[in-house]
Every structure is written in structure tokens, then in C-alpha cells.
Structure 1
Amino acid sequence: MAEHILVPVDGSPLSRRALEVACEEYSDGEISALHVIDPTEPGYSVYGADPELARAPRQGSNDWYSTGEEHAEELFAELEEVTTAETSVRTETVVGRPDREILSYAADNDIDQIIMGSHGRSDDSPLLLGATTEAVVFRSPVRVSVIR
């Protein structure tokens, strides 16, 4: 029986690598790439690479959510090159706190495994895992593979 793999993607190189690993290792399975737009922290998600995007449009406005959706679509388009012809990747964007949305998606969609990249918000952090990854690893009802 083919596995259903969840790969949270945030635009970071490690989340891209996590999707590559999922496609390589589970090409016969079902892969879901989930992007979470976090309305409480503009630095997370697609805005992490460019802090200017977090300032305009106004955080929490309809335009802000629309911009987040547009950037998510661009992210998924960029990630298409990671997939292979025999690998099917379903993409979805949700709004909420990333760890909660990832865990909720896993529970609601019969996910067998989560493969995710991990990075802290600062390079000099003594933490092994970023906060979102740590929360998912410790609360997940399914196996979590972490790409570092």
C-alpha cells in the first residue's frame, strides 16, 4: 500500500529539499505539499526571504492574504521542478499557526509520515530544531522525518 506523505513547504531551501526527498523516496505514494500562511508572524512563510513584503500590504488585510496566496502559488510553481513525471504532488495553502495547521492536516488527511525541513530563525541559535518543527515532532501522531 502506498504511503501518504505530508511535506510542509515555506520557501526555504530545506523545505525544498524535504520535498525532493519525499519525491525520491515515495514516488509511488501520494505526496501533499502544504503551505501555511501565518497571520501572527509576517516573518514566517513566504515573507521570510524579503522583510519588505511583510510591511506592505498591511498585515492581516485582505490584500495581505491575497499577496500571501499569490506568493504560495509562485512557491508551488517553483517546486514543480522538484517533482518527477511519476510523482503526483497535491498542493494546498491554509491560514493559521503553522504547527497546528500541519498537525491538523496530518490528522484530517490520513497522513502516514511528515517530511519537513528544520531551521531556526537565527543562524547562531543553539536550538537543534526550529519552533515549528519542534512542535510538530513532539506532537505528531505519525512519524516525522526532519531534513537539516
Structure 2
Amino acid sequence: MSRQLLVPVDGSPLSKRALEYALDEEGSISVIALHVIDPSDPGYSSATDVDVRNEPPHGSREWYQRAAEEEERIFDEARELAADYDADLSTDSAIGEPAREIVDYAEDNDIDQIVVGGHGRIGTARMLLGSVAEIVVRRSPVSVTVVR
């Protein structure tokens, strides 16, 4: 029986590192790359630098279309990385607050482990910026590996 690993991806170097970690796991595994589009994030929930002054109005149909295009770019990169490891990769997406969607996905889809990239912020920066990884670690129903 294969273990299912969930890797949240946003196109950042840290999410790529987490995906590499998961793809490098030994044994029978299934890796699912999950991208969460956060409707409150004007930058399409990706690590791409976006000048929101030149983009469609936040929350518009065009904005969601652009977010979907950005998501497909992220998934294409994840598939290319999986091919480098000669590994199978599934992709899925959700819309909502990222930490909540990641935890809900793990609960609803028989996930065995979550592998997430974490910035390792401390102190005031963590309090002000929050941390998806930290929230996932606290609320996850399964083991979480944080990759830095």
C-alpha cells in the first residue's frame, strides 16, 4: 500500500524544496501537489512578483482566470520536477484560506503526511506575517514535515 504525501505548492523556492523532498522519499508513495488560490491575495497566491496596478481587478472573473493560468504554470513546473525524479505526481487545487484548505484536504483525502516549505520566521515577523506552515503543523490530523 502506498503512502500519500501532500505538498502545498505556490511556485516559491521553499515549496519546490518541499516537493523535491517528497519526491525523493523511498518506498511506495503517491505525491499530490496542492495549490490553494487565496481570494484575499491580490497576487494570485503564487510566488511570482505581480504589480497589481497592471492586473485585472482583484476578485473579478479576469482575476480568477489569471489565477488559474498562474496555477497551471506552477503545476507545469511541479510536473517537470517530478519527471526529473521519474515519479508520478497528481495535482489538485482549492480556493480559500491556504492553511485551512491544506488541513481540510488532508482530512478529506486519506493523506498520510504533509510536506510543506517553511520560512522559519521568528518573533515579531511570525506574529505579523503569520505562517501557513505553523498553522498546518498545529491543526493537521497527520504528520507534517517542514522543509526549509
Give the shorter-chain TM-score range: 0.7 to 0.9
TM-score by length of 1: 0.86
1:96–1:126 Cα change, 3 Å: closer
1:123–1:62 Cα change, 3 Å: farther
**1:45-64 pair list within 5 angstroms:** 45-46=45-46, 48-53=47-52, 56-64=55-63
Give the residue type in structure 2 aligned to 1:74. R
Q: Judge conservation of contact 2:44–2:67 (CA < 8 Å) in 1.
A: no
TM-score by length of 2: 0.86
Q: Judge conservation of contact 1:39–1:60 (CA < 8 Å) in 2.
A: yes
Cα deviation for residue 139 of structure 1 reads 0.4
Alignment partner of 1:77 is 2:76: yes
Equivalenced residue count is 146
Cα deviation for residue 71 of structure 1 reads 0.5
Using the alignment, how far apart are the partners of 2:39 and 2:140 within structure 1?
Answer: 22
Q: Judge conservation of contact 2:5–2:31 (CA < 8 Å) in 1.
A: yes
Gaps of 5+ in 1: none
Using the alignment, how far apart are the partners of 2:9 and 2:91 within structure 1?
Answer: 10
Using the alignment, how far apart are the partners of 1:20 and 1:61 within structure 2?
Answer: 34
1:16-64 deviation digits (Å, cap 9, x = unpaired): 0111110111563111100001011224721x43131576211111111
1:111–1:145 Cα change, 3 Å: same
1:92-132 deviation digits (Å, cap 9, x = unpaired): 12111001110111011000000010127x89965499511
Gaps of 5+ in 2: none
1:133–1:44 Cα change, 3 Å: farther
Q: CA RMSD in A?
A: 2.6
